Structure 1
Amino acid sequence: MPGKSCSSSPGRPARVLIVDDHPIVREGLAHLLNMHEELQVCCTASSAEEALQGMVCEPDMAIVDLSLHKDSGLDLVRTLRQHHPELAILVLSMHDESLFAERALRAGANGYLMKLEATEHIMSAIQEVLAGNIYLSAAMHGRLARALTASRNATAGSVASLSEREFEVLHLIGLGFGTREIARKLNRSIKTVEAHQANIKEKLDIHSGKALIRFAIQWIENQ
């Protein structure tokens, strides 16, 4: 998981690696991003092998499709996260976000954007992910919020009292991330994440760390 914000160093644009097996998508996305002075496409790739070779350009961010001919984009995300823990990763895919977004986050991605929404939201997604935040569509956030609200172990009032960051922490706990991993993924200290966990337990009337984990996992499984 990322250990710090992945924004570029002062004085240079953020370097971006694009991984997609369709040339027109790579070229079109590269053209779009290079129109913004704060971004620079340093390499493009059509396969997992090319993507790993492209890491020599030391990108700050990778934009990865899930379908790469014979390769799995999720496996590539896992490999990139394992070997490049500070890399910001945004999945850009044609696959339904409601089915694949959580899998992408589990694999190590920082955000998920469907290609159907890319033109309107791509820059917002890139900015959020480069800032060290998690990006999901408003619809996906709403789905998660509704699922959490419906959880039998918490009242609607207590759920509504969770801050945005507390909600993200609860979500990541349910995905199986530990405190240290959450701290890295959210670019926060371990003490800060522990404070968020304490606040969540208080607001949801949960009395132990194990109970919080059980609650979060059950919530994810019920979605």
Structure 2
Amino acid sequence: MNAPSQHPHDFSASTPDERVRVFIVDDHPAIREALASTITRTLNFRLIGEAGSAQTALELLRRRPPDVVIVDLSLSDGHGFDLIETLRNEMPDVQALVFSMYDETVYAERAIRAGAAGYVMKNAPTQDVIQAIETVMQGEVYLSRRMSSRILNKVIHQKDYTLGAATERLTDREMTVFQMLGAGHNVTDIADQLDLSRKTIETYRRRAKEKLGFDTVSELLQYAVQWTYGREASSSSTETHP
């Protein structure tokens, strides 16, 4: 009598070619190491590479596309949004999953619009990353329960996604510059970190000032600081008092 065939969903019987191929992009070695450890311990996942910059990541990804790319938004040679958009255009079958310290209430929707299939904050439990990879591999979008509820609330109350809040009028780049200004970085620092010219950063700053309705850069900076630290305080309060 022939032996019974393995159940199709029995991951213990997975061969290397059947496992989900994962690639990590993060400029912090410790973060990459932690993610790599989590992925390699998961039976149906296979880590096929990692990179600390967008440029290196693209070179490797073009040679050997994975199933899922875990992307940090803050990279040493650019912004994660740019990498996600490039992946969407060049490798539409690759699922991009954002893993970031940036507040999901500000960046999750932007990441999805850029082409990401999910968003996980770095303070989330490790198991959330595993669940997120499994979710996006099923063709679904992964967001935290908090973020899903926020978006559902917008839909229920028919709030406008673009104009619902003043900061949502900003483009991804303008939002990044705005938040970095609020965190105390000057134009030169921001230009260096984003690998852009000072003039370009000044243009983003001017556009943010105009869209938010301020007359002077000083007013914009004051609001940026209040907005940034106000959110940090709110986030800390939420974590302390769930």
Task: Verify same fold: TM over 0.5.
Answer: yes
Q: Please report how far the alpha carbon of residue 71 of structure 1 lies from its aligned counterpart in structure 2 after TM superposition.
A: 1.0
Contact between 2:54 and 2:77, CA under 8 Å: does it hold in 1?
Answer: no
Matches within 5 A, 1:88-103: 88-103=95-110
Question: In the alignment, does 2:83 pair up with 1:76?
Answer: yes
User: Does the C-alpha gap of structure 1 residues 9 and 77 become closer, same or farther in structure 2, counting only changes over 3 Å?
Assistant: farther
Matched residues, number = 151
Show the counterpart of 2:20: 14
Structure 1: which 5+ residue stretches go unaligned?
1-7, 153-217
1:76-129, Cα deviation, whole Å (9 max, x unpaired): 000011100110110000000000011111110001110111424111111001
Q: 1:222 aligns with which of 164, 176, 188?
A: 164
Larger RCO: Structure 1 or Structure 2 (Cα < 8 Å, ≥ 6 residues apart)? 1
Q: Does 1:65 align with 2:7?
A: no
Determine the C-alpha separation between the residues in 2 that align with 1:130 and 1:145: 22
Cα distance between partner residues in 1 of 2:57 and 2:125: 21
3-state SS of 2:97 partner: strand
* Equivalent-residue separation in structure 2 for 1:44 and 1:219 (angstroms): 34
1:197-216 mapped onto 2 (5 Å cutoff): none
Distance 1:9 1:120, change over 3 A: closer
Cα pair distance change 1:9/1:86, threshold 3 Å: farther
2:132 pairs, out of 111, 117, 125, with: 125
Q: Kindly indicate whether the alpha-carbon contact (under 8 Å) linking 2:38 and 2:126 is maintained by their aligned counterparts in 1.
A: no
The Cα of 1:12 is off from its aligned counterpart by 2.1
Give the distance between the partners of 1:116 and 1:96, measured in 2 at CA. Answer: 10
Query: What is the aligned partner in structure 2 of residue 150 from structure 1?
Result: 157
Instruction: Please state if 1:34 is matched with 2:40.
Output: yes
Aligned to 1:177: none
Q: What's the TM-score once normalised by structure 1's chain length?
A: 0.63
In terms of mean alpha carbon deviation, does 27-36 or 118-127 score higher?
Answer: 118-127
Percent of aligned pairs sharing the same letter: 41
Shift of 1:36: 1.0
Q: 1:135 maps to which residue? A: 142
**Distance in 2 of aligned mates of 1:11 and 1:46:** 26
Structure showing greater radius of gyration is 2
**Unaligned runs of at least 5 residues, structure 2:** 1-13, 166-242
Q: Which residue of 30, 49, 52 maps to 1:43? A: 49
The 1-side partners of 2:84 and 2:27 are apart by 15
**Contact residue 23 and residue 50 of structure 2 kept, 8 A:** yes
CA RMSD of aligned residues (A): 2.0
Note if contact 1:22-1:46 (Cα within 8 Å) is conserved in structure 2: yes
* CA deviation map 1:55-93 (0-9, x unaligned): 123211100000001311000000011100110110000
